[in-house]
Amino acid sequence: MSRTFSIANQKGGVGKTTTAINLAAALARSGARTLLVDLDPQCNATSGLGLIPITDHPLATGAPLRDAINNTAVAGLDLLPGSRSYRDVAYLAQGDAVAAVTLERQMSAGLAGYDYALFDCPPSLGRLTEIALSISDEVLMPIQCEYFAMEGLTEMIQVIGRIIHQSRRLKFGGIVLTMYDPALELTGEVDAEVREFFGDIVFQTVIPRDVAVSEAPSHGQSVLDYAPRSRGARAYVELCLEVLET
């Protein structure tokens, strides 16, 4: 049975997709068969691994997920690409309760055979994010080390809490501090505030502000493949080890 994660934050630009790509790549490199599901209509996880979005998303057409899953350049890592089709996005975002149950069953069936599945969620608290959370074991939340890091977290945590109460399956897997620059006083302040407020659910590993992490998606690669000796690659390996140990 696969262990499933939603990588979620209602704010954009916090390193959500970057974390989804690189954590998935690190898990695959550990020998685990891993699936990354791109649920964000921007499809950045898809292009970030060198693949192209699909025009007919199986979650909208009802086709089996396996028909759209692609291999990536990373051994052991598969990708269900995202779709920029307005029709698909509208259907997935606005479906009724019956459609939501169907999507949950369809996604759950598509995870068979994988050790890990990661959902790269849209930067919102919409239906797609809620469906991903409802079939996940854990939610990982990247937080950028900036002044507004805590903005919107209360609402996000309320949604997560409601789904935890309903599903009895989802748990808060952890918070990941991203774009970490120890030379900045603000970074230390955000680090201390987040750890004081959330305690042990904050990962010890922090993701540094590293140009290699920013450049890797433009080459269609994870940072582990693009710059394996970089600080960013090392950090994502360490984050992967923390995930594997929990």
Pairing of strands 77-80, 70-71: antiparallel
User: Can you give the CATH number for the domain in which 158 is found?
Assistant: 3.40.50.300
Pairing of strands 138-144, 77-80: unpaired
Q: At what angle do helices 127-134 and 86-94 cross, to 10 degrees?
A: 60
- Tens place of pLDDT for every residue, the chain, 246 residues? 689 999 998 888 899 999 999 999 999 999 999 999 999 989 999 999 999 999 888 877 888 888 899 999 999 999 999 988 767 777 776 655 555 677 777 777 778 889 999 999 988 877 788 888 888 999 999 999 887 777 767 777 777 888 777 766 788 899 999 999 999 999 999 899 889 988 899 999 999 999 999 999 999 999 999 999 999 999 999 999 999 998
Range of the domain at 170: 3-245
User: Can you give the pLDDT at residue 111?
Assistant: 83
- Tokens encoding 46: 């898809």
Contact 158, 46 (CB under 8 A): no
d(CA 39, CA 214): 21
Q: ∠9-118-101 over CA atoms, to 5°?
A: 85
Q: Is 113 exposed, middle or buried (0-12, 13-18, 19+ CB in 10 A)?
A: exposed
Nearest to 8 by CA among 47, 44, 40: 40
d(CA 185, CA 151): 19
What's the Cα-to-Cα distance from 163 to each of 109, 138, 146, rounded to whole Å?
20, 11, 28
| Helix segments in the chain, DSSP class H | 16-29, 44-48, 58-61, 86-94, 97-110, 127-134, 153-167, 185-198, 211-215, 223-226, 231-245
Contact 203, 175 (CB under 8 A): yes
Sheet strand arrangement including 116-120: 70-71, 77-80, 34-38, 116-120, 3-7, 138-144, 171-180, 202-208
pTM, rounded to two decimals = 0.92
Q: Tally the domains of the chain.
A: 1
